[in-house]
Amino acid sequence: MPPSSRRPRQPGAPAIDKRSIVRYVGITLFILLLLSLPQFGTGADLIYKNLFLSTAIVALGLDVLIGRTGQLSLCQGALFGVGCFTAVQVGAAGAPWPVAFLAAVAFTALVSTIVGLPSLRIRGLQVAVATLAFQIFLISLSSTKPEIKGIGTEGITRPEYLESDQRYYYFGLVFLGLTVLLVHRIRSTRSGRMFVSVRDVEERSGSFGIASGPAKLLAYAFAGGIAGLGGALYALQIGTPNDVSPFNLQASLILVAITVIGGAMSSMGIIVAAFFFSAFASLSYIPTDKSTLVQVLFALLLVLNILVYPRGVGGSFTDLKDQLNKLVFGPAPRPSPRPETTDAVAAASNAMALRKTPRPLRERLPTSTLLVATDVTVQYGGVRALDHFTAEVRRGEIVGLIGANGAGKSTFFNAVSGLAPVTGSIVFRGQELVGAPPAIRSRLGLARTWQDMGLVRADTVRDNLLLAQAWMARYPAAPGLLGLFSALPDERLVRHRADLALELFGLSHLKDERLGDLPYGTMRTVEIAAAVSSGPDLLLLDEASAGLTPEEAHQLGDRFSALRDELGLTLVVIEHHVPLIAGVCDYCYCLESGALIAEGTPAEVTAQPRVVESFLGKGSIDRSTDHHVVVTDDLVDDAVEGSPVDDGLEVARA
């Protein structure tokens, strides 16, 4: 098993990568530009610059939904109005602005959570339509009830020290900065990993111990709270909305446009986009006969921006940073995309360190049996994908699961993981799994890989290992986002385990690389490392050798044995590569059309003519002799040739 590749920093080496200097300089210049904005333009322009701050704050909250969670909301403008309305009403009751702000954030977060409830049952554009319905409802409500818009309400009073529009700009800039910090904080916490899993691998998020429903509602609450903050800031700026409705649909559509044009998960790009949209709004004083032309030109400019910079303004900033780094420091050195290897002593040391790292204690079983599946049946309509399958896995074993494509192997993994409708019984560590949510099964000590890669390719290698351990970081969302002490122990634990697993698999030099940029074989190694980092007792590996070279497949067999011997894991392995199964497995099951056709040691199973027939097809076996099975299918020849077979069975080329 590839072990540690960590190298100590050489004496005198810089603590900060010199290539990050360009990034820090850019951020500094951007902050200075924001600070100097009040010095440009007339006093009337300051009103729109203050509006720009509120717009940018609300758009950053929407990015939590669109960019990080993959939920398209068309009612963020309405939530902005809810925050504005709440602040006005609380301020009119005599409460100071901090209380009005807190009330707006809390109430809008609650409303947004309610709006997000349909996302528990529907997805995609249906969610967008549901949020649009809420937007239309508030528009209708505000048109029939003027008090909803604040008409006739005394409003919230701006304190004397904020009466100047310039002072108010810097006041709002502080809240914009806090919002940016909070949004960036999401990525490094359990909440951010939950959001990303919902966006990219929602159906599989349960295997990481993540319940997608609560994760979605948390994202809606977070985005709603930020919208409430933006609405409260706007309310304090204008005092009372009067006859201007803050619930209009155009505001929601503009916020979506700002998020897309600014670039998903790019705070700087979204702030720039929000500024230009607000600047366009300030052009309302142009002559009527010219206004249509300006609007058309602005729309064309937006379309051109999307065509030229499909990743948004933030993507263009990233490209510019990379070009400057290349110009100043030369091409960036790229690490080897393959896992590194060192000696066996270091491997054993890293494995022992990972094994001793604290993890939630699980009660030891009185028997050696870890998993018992009895009469497991999975049926989709009239198709029975798994038919009364019975199997047993003992602690410390490597169990093989073989069969042709469509035999039901991955279906069994889905049944164990809680991702398939099951009848029968699946008992793991003495607990019945049938009916238990997928997230609960991860906490019991169950981890798996996927046939088609179950990780987030847009994230880094290290982020994926942290995602796999989401269930181990059990701190609430608020302490994590605020960086409170109560969240630190769990966060340190998962990061330490991630680093140990990276060292164990020789991936430390790739920890900051984007997973999707790595070779397929390396991605497979990362997926196994992620599953191992989550501290399972039982590891389900679904065609881990798919796409690997023969040499990599041979090394994979050694890794399976090391996982059992050095980490004490129990493995169930789905494989088409029969020599790999024969070389490492203690016991083997063979499936055909969802039914068990053979079980025993690999030698016993691969010696049965029906097993060979199942792999090769009925027309590929010549039964003209009593002691020979002749293989005519070259595609499967390599999978069977070299496997341990009975003395009376010979596999040869026709």
Of 128, 168, 562, 95, the C-alpha closest to 352 is 562
Region 624-631: what's the mean pLDDT?
40
Region 559-571: what's the mean pLDDT?
87
Centroid of chain to Cα 118: 21
Residue 144 or 403, more confident: 403
CA distance 480 to 391: 42
CA distance 597 to 613: 11
Residue 359 or 254, more confident: 254
Kindly report the average pLDDT of the chain as a whole number: 81
Look at residue 638 in the predicted model and tell me its pLDDT: 40
User: If DSSP codes are grouped into helix, strand and coil, which group holds residue 629?
Assistant: strand
Outline which parts of the chain fall under CATH 3.40.50.300. 353-596
Q: Provide the whole-model pTM.
A: 0.84
To the nearest 10°, report the CA torsion of 54, 56, 58, 62: 170
Look at residue 347 in the predicted model and tell me its pLDDT: 63
Going by the DSSP 8-state scheme, the letter that residue 65 receives in this structure is I
Q: Which residues of 580-614 are buried (b: 16+ CB within 10 A; e: fewer)?
A: bbbbbbebbbbbbebebbbbeebebbbbbeebbbb
β-bridge partners, 374: 425
pLDDT at 499 over 80: yes
pLDDT at 503 over 60: yes
CA distances from 464 to 196, 265, 302, 468, 560 (A): 10, 17, 34, 6, 21
Look at residue 636 in the predicted model and tell me its pLDDT: 37
CA distance 280 to 55: 13
Residue 308 or 109, more confident: 109
Look at residue 44 in the predicted model and tell me its pLDDT: 65
Helix (H) or strand (E) holding 130: helix 125-144
- Confidence bin at 245 (pLDDT 50/70/90): low
Q: Which residue has the tokens 């009330």?
A: 103
Look at residue 228 in the predicted model and tell me its pLDDT: 95
Look at residue 8 in the predicted model and tell me its pLDDT: 41
Look at residue 654 in the predicted model and tell me its pLDDT: 30
CATH superfamily of 353-596: P-loop containing nucleotide triphosphate hydrolases (3.40.50.300)
Look at residue 619 in the predicted model and tell me its pLDDT: 47
For a pLDDT cut of 70, what percent of the chain falls above it?
Answer: 81
CA distance 237 to 228: 14
Q: How would you write 194-227 as a 3-class SS string?
A: HHHHHHHHHHHHHHHCCCHHHHHHHHHHHHHHHH
- Per-residue pLDDT tens digits for 353-394: 776 666 655 555 556 889 999 999 999 888 889 999 999 999
Phi and psi torsions of 54, nearest 5°: -65, -45
Greatest mean pLDDT among 139-143, 149-153, 354-358, 468-472 lies in 468-472
Look at residue 12 in the predicted model and tell me its pLDDT: 42
For a pLDDT cut of 90, what percent of the chain falls above it?
Answer: 33
Region 169-192: what's the mean pLDDT?
92
DSSP-assigned states of every residue in 321-337: HHHHHHHHH-SPPPPPS
Of 216, 240, 223, the C-alpha closest to 153 is 240
Look at residue 153 in the predicted model and tell me its pLDDT: 56
Residue 164 or 635, more confident: 164
DSSP count for the chain of H helices, then E strands: 24, 13
Look at residue 386 in the predicted model and tell me its pLDDT: 92
Q: At what angle do helices 249-262 and 312-329 cross, to 10 degrees?
A: 20
Region 130-149: what's the mean pLDDT?
80
Joined tokens for residue 113: 């959570």
Give just the sign of the alpha carbon dihedral 339, 344, 350, 354: positive
Ranges 153-157, 250-254, 401-405, 487-491: which has the least confidence: 153-157
Give just the sign of the alpha carbon dihedral 282, 283, 286, 288: negative
Joined tokens for residue 449: 């890989």
User: If DSSP codes are grouped into helix, strand and coil, which group holds residue 80?
Assistant: helix
pLDDT at 225 over 90: yes
Region 209-225: what's the mean pLDDT?
93
Look at residue 558 in the predicted model and tell me its pLDDT: 82
CA distance 181 to 521: 37
User: If DSSP codes are grouped into helix, strand and coil, which group holds residue 159?
Assistant: coil
Residue 102 or 205, more confident: 102
Look at residue 577 in the predicted model and tell me its pLDDT: 80
What residues have CB less than 8 Å from 361, skipping those under 6 apart?
none
Region 151-176: what's the mean pLDDT?
83
Helix (H) or strand (E) holding 399: strand 398-402
CA atoms within 13 A on the CB side of 349: 9
Look at residue 294 in the predicted model and tell me its pLDDT: 64
Joined tokens for residue 428: 């793991």
Of 160, 185, 179, the C-alpha closest to 101 is 179
